[in-house]
Amino acid sequence: MLACGTTTCEVKSGYGLEVDAELRMLRALARLQRQHQIDIVPTFMGAHEIPKEYRRRRDAFVDLVVEEMIPAVAGEKLAEWCDVFCETGVFTVAESVKILEAGKRFGLAPRVHADELGPSGGSLAAAQVGARSADHLIFVPAEGIAAMAFIPLVSRGRVIGKFMLYFDAPHIPSADDVQVASLIAAQVAFAVERKRAEQARLEAVEESRRVSERLAAIVESSGDAIVSKTLDGIVTSWNQAAERLFGYSAAEMVGQPILRVIPPELQHEEVEILRKLRVGERIEQSAKPRGWLA
């Protein structure tokens, strides 16, 4: 995954369906998070299915999730999210809401597997608890869509996210709802784009710093005299090899004219070279060797 560019992934529990098994899964994720470069976002999904032994007393399993699993998971800070499979034959809307609200009380933000196999009401449960996401939604009914209105976040012609509106009950957004939400979405998109631009700028500055440090290290360790100067011929850097070759230290030369170390009979050439550089003219390589400057 990392080799293909994935830097973050969400991993869910939900395959043990009893307290110890769920905790073991999430502890394993915590160890993996510490050892691996990919950022792993853990989700507690003890309400993934109702075990066979609880099929005729499903309330007891819901209570197990609410009263034992969630407090244990939160107590060890093993998850960031709480997910429920709200589906016909699995967890009802009421059961899902009870579990997700319990998760919220313990600091676990809600997600919902919703309306995957049929219009089971999962989208309505997601709206009721203010879930961060409602996954699947293959058979989401019209009232579920109306309860989870969202507006694309668009910046420079690209969709960069979505702004979602949640309502406590099925609701058809009014024109005023849409207008206010669209204004907020536009502001959010602008803020996101500014944040990304600032992050890109900081990364560029950091990369420039790293490149400068690498170049400085190369210049300083070189056996050749390497000197930089302004277009007016003022020395701005002077490496150790230049000190050995010319006999002047960097402290003595930086800020001084380069003509200080050029033989008088050759200074007119340096003046002409600097003139051409200032006006953008091409500098032809001299065929005559110059032993005074390596």
pLDDT of residue 288: 45
What pLDDT digit, counting tens, does each position of 163-203 carry? 777 666 666 677 788 788 888 888 888 888 889 889 999 99
What pLDDT digit, counting tens, does each position of 102-143 carry? 999 999 999 999 999 999 999 989 988 988 888 888 888 877
Highest-scoring range by mean pLDDT, 66-75, 130-139, 186-195, 222-231: 66-75
- The structural domains of the chain, ordered by start, are 2-148 (3.20.20.140), 223-279 (3.30.450.20)
pLDDT of residue 178: 76
The mean pLDDT of 243-262, rounded to a whole number, is 93
pTM: 0.56
**271: confidence class by pLDDT, cuts 50, 70, 90:** very high
Residue 205 predicted with pLDDT over 60: yes
- Dihedrals phi, psi of 187, to nearest 5 degrees: -70, -40
pLDDT of residue 293: 47
pLDDT of residue 287: 45
93-105 and 122-129 helices cross at what angle (nearest 10)?
30
